[in-house]
Amino acid sequence: MRLMSHIRPICLILTTLLTAACKPPPHETRTLKKWDLLSATEATHWKSAAMPDAGKAEVRDGEAFMEAGGPMTGLSYDNWQSGGLPLRDYTITCEAMRVEGADFFAAITFPVRRIDTCATLVVGGWGGGLVGISSIDGEDASNNSTRSEQKFENGKWYRLKLEVREDEIKAWIDDRLVINTSIKARVISLRPGYIENCAPFGLATFQSTGRVRTLVAEELGYPR
């Protein structure tokens, strides 16, 4: 009986330790970072994307401005990697306007998983109304499953949101979901051409004058 009285506390201690060891660790909390990409401090990191016959392109007073080019005008942001911006689990939000023209006015090139693997969210392409991602498995926005059509009016601001996950890309225009595609085991790339000058992050227009404001990158929590 005396032996049993000693064994019971030991068993209780062992049971407590095993239970604690089997419990999952508490969910890690961290502060999610945010970057105002058109702020005065970030403006110096924007450069012309050096496209032939491009229009004037600049960032000033919290806004990106790109005049119509022949055919393209673009801006590239050179602080993505050195500034510690994410390659997955992040969002891009902004407001964009086509001032004049009839084609894309706020094509956003962005990194996916790696700094040297990028894609482009096309807004208003192929004659003015196409929305999609270029490119997935070698197919650009006009030929893959992300393609949709929307009417865009010149002189009107549109709210854009892009969400980049490890295996998924989503996009919204004025809070309406327009892209929701899995990229698991799929090849992500840029459409060959001048848009490559915008990598790893940049903006571009095609035969159109465009304005972009309130451009923000923000980390997302890990998906559960």
Q: Does any domain span residue 47?
A: yes
CA distance 20 to 35: 39
Closest CA to 98 of 183, 28, 173, 33: 173
Q: Does any domain span residue 3?
A: no
Q: Which residues are bridge partners to 131 per DSSP? A: 123, 148
Number of domains making up the chain: 1
Closest CA to 34 of 97, 83, 70: 83
Q: Are 219 and 34 in contact (CB under 8 A)?
A: yes
Give the domain extent around 187. 31-219
> Where would I find the H helices in the chain?
2-22
pTM: 0.86
- CB atoms inside a 10 Å sphere around CB 46: 22
Q: Does any domain span residue 10?
A: no
Q: What is the pLDDT along the chain (224 residues), one digit of tens a residue?
A: 444 455 454 444 444 444 444 444 455 567 899 999 999 999 999 999 999 999 999 999 999 999 999 999 999 999 999 999 999 999 999 999 999 999 999 999 999 999 999 999 999 999 999 999 999 999 999 999 999 999 999 999 999 999 999 999 999 999 999 999 999 999 999 999 999 999 999 999 999 999 999 999 999 987 65
Exposed, middle or buried: residue 159 (CB in 10 Å: 0-12, 13-18, 19+)?
middle
Q: Does any domain span residue 98?
A: yes
For residue 58, give every residue at least 6 positions away whose Cβ sits within 8 Å of its Cβ, in sequence order, or none: 46, 64, 65, 75
| CATH number for the domain harbouring residue 75 | 2.60.120.560
